[in-house]
Amino acid sequence: MSVDLSADGQILRLQIGSQSSRFHAIWLRDNAQDSHTRDVRNGQRLISLRDIPQNTYMQTAALVGTDILRIHFMPEDRLIDFSLRWLQAHIYDRPMPKQVGWVKPELALWDSQLSEHLPVADFCQLQSDKQQQLLWLQKVVRYGFGKLTNGPVSDGALYQIIDLFGYIRETNYGRHFEVRVEDNPSNLAFTGAAIQAHTDNPYRDPVPSLQLLYCLQSTASGGDSMLVDGFTAAQRLRDEKPHYFDLLSRYCARFEFAGEQGVCLHTRQPMIGLAADGELTGVRFNNRSAAAFTDVPFVDMADYYAAYRYFGEILDDPVMEVAFRLAPGECVLFDNTRVLHARKAFSGSGSRWLQGCYADKDALWSKVHAAANHKVL
């Protein structure tokens, strides 16, 4: 283990084993963890960048014991200790992802082969065992969905699932919505027709990032729930048809819902969402609420439609889906920015009653990450 400074004190090089990492003086000073810079109770930064001299440099840097790097910052004349473990966890001198459409390493992308290993847990067990609860929530983060069995068969039971990690996202559809299929439907929405894989409410900004579907009644034959990993599908599109991936991620689609008195929801977002550095951040796909696309240049519109069709064919490909049946007391929680859901057609008589609601994944990820940081579960 060794440390050295550039002649001008602007760059620190830290060598730990075979790993050599460089850090800038201004970055280190801004990220100091001392009590002058950070509140010891909540970790929030107490200074702003303007409080740090623009000509900040390091006069000395030395290893102290096994986990401390002590740096003397000038012209402030301030000695600040850094944890080597913290520095190792925050190295930025590393190759950046080059291929557009990359995903966070904590995500596991999947296709139909996951059917044998669905992320399933027993609701009763989760309620009494915090560790099991955390393991299931980690799977929801990793796979973008999780199924629960053995829950109560009662109106509103779905709220107990959201209570495990966060909060309901109330919308104009209410705190929850009913999905009923009846023998003699009064509304086409309540028929047993198959529904193509889609994400919900792409016409909202921000879009609800989690959805829960909870089964209370299921006597009809058919009607299996299907899920598709939109990130797997997007990467497949990228690998098979890079130009199509580029079109769907570069141009905005439009989505709208104005089917209720006093409601006019409208968004302008790409079907494949990317961060500025190419990270895959979300998929919006819903034939029922797609509006007229007016943000694709005339010269690209025909290709855009070919790309839209091709992406839909990937999403419809059976090798992409996992299918399962929800029995009363069972539910599925999924990331509505990543995982598309669909329903197979019903046949015969019987009824099916699901209750659904939305929530947001920031609370879910927060709970999982807080536990990983050994904070209170």
28, 71 Cβ separation under 8 angstroms? yes
Nearest distance, CB of residue 153 and Fe ion, angstroms: 22
Using only the alpha carbons of the chain, give its radius of gyration. 25
Best CA proximity match to 349, nearest among 187, 185, 226, 195: 185
Q: Rank residues 89 and 188 by Cβ distance to Fe ion and give the closer one.
A: 188
Q: Rank residues 200 and 360 by Cβ distance to Fe ion and give the closer one.
A: 200
Give residue 156's region: left, alpha or beta (phi > 0; psi -120 to 50): left
Using the rule CB under 5 A, give the single segment among 114-122, 138-146, 172-180, 199-207 that binds Fe ion: 199-207
306, 312 Cβ separation under 8 angstroms? no
Nearest distance, CB of residue 333 and Fe ion, angstroms: 14
Alpha-carbon dihedral 17, 23, 28, 33, rounded to 10 degrees: -30
Q: Length of the chain in residues, anyone?
A: 377
Using the rule CB under 5 A, give the single segment among 78-86, 141-149, 197-205, 253-261 that binds Fe ion: 197-205
Q: Rank residues 27 and 324 by Cβ distance to Fe ion and give the closer one.
A: 324
Q: Rank residues 162 and 212 by Cβ distance to Fe ion and give the closer one.
A: 212
Using the rule CB under 5 A, give the single segment among 124-132, 151-159, 192-200, 258-266 that binds Fe ion: 192-200
Dump strand ranges (E) for 95-188: 120-122, 145-149, 168-169, 177-181
Nearest distance, CB of residue 318 and Fe ion, angstroms: 19
Using the rule CB under 5 A, give the single segment among 10-18, 39-47, 196-204, 239-247 that binds Fe ion: 196-204
Using the rule CB under 5 A, give the single segment among 36-44, 149-157, 195-203, 215-223 that binds Fe ion: 195-203
Q: Rank residues 9 and 202 by Cβ distance to Fe ion and give the closer one.
A: 202
Nearest distance, CB of residue 336 and Fe ion, angstroms: 9
Nearest distance, CB of residue 199 and Fe ion, angstroms: 8
Q: How many residues bind Fe ion (CB under 5 A)?
A: 1
* Segment (H or E) for 299: helix 298-316
179, 353 Cβ separation under 8 angstroms? yes
Distance CA 255, CA 268 (A): 7
Using the rule CB under 5 A, give the single segment among 3-11, 48-56, 58-66, 200-208 that binds Fe ion: 200-208
Strands 352-359 and 339-343: unpaired
Interface residue with Fe ion among 119, 164, 168, 200 (CB under 5 A) is 200
Residue 335 in the binding site for Fe ion (CB under 5 A): no
Nearest distance, CB of residue 211 and Fe ion, angstroms: 7
By Cβ distance, which residue is nearest to Fe ion? Answer: 200
Nearest distance, CB of residue 228 and Fe ion, angstroms: 12
Nearest distance, CB of residue 156 and Fe ion, angstroms: 20
The residues that touch Fe ion, with contacts defined as CB under 5 A, are 200
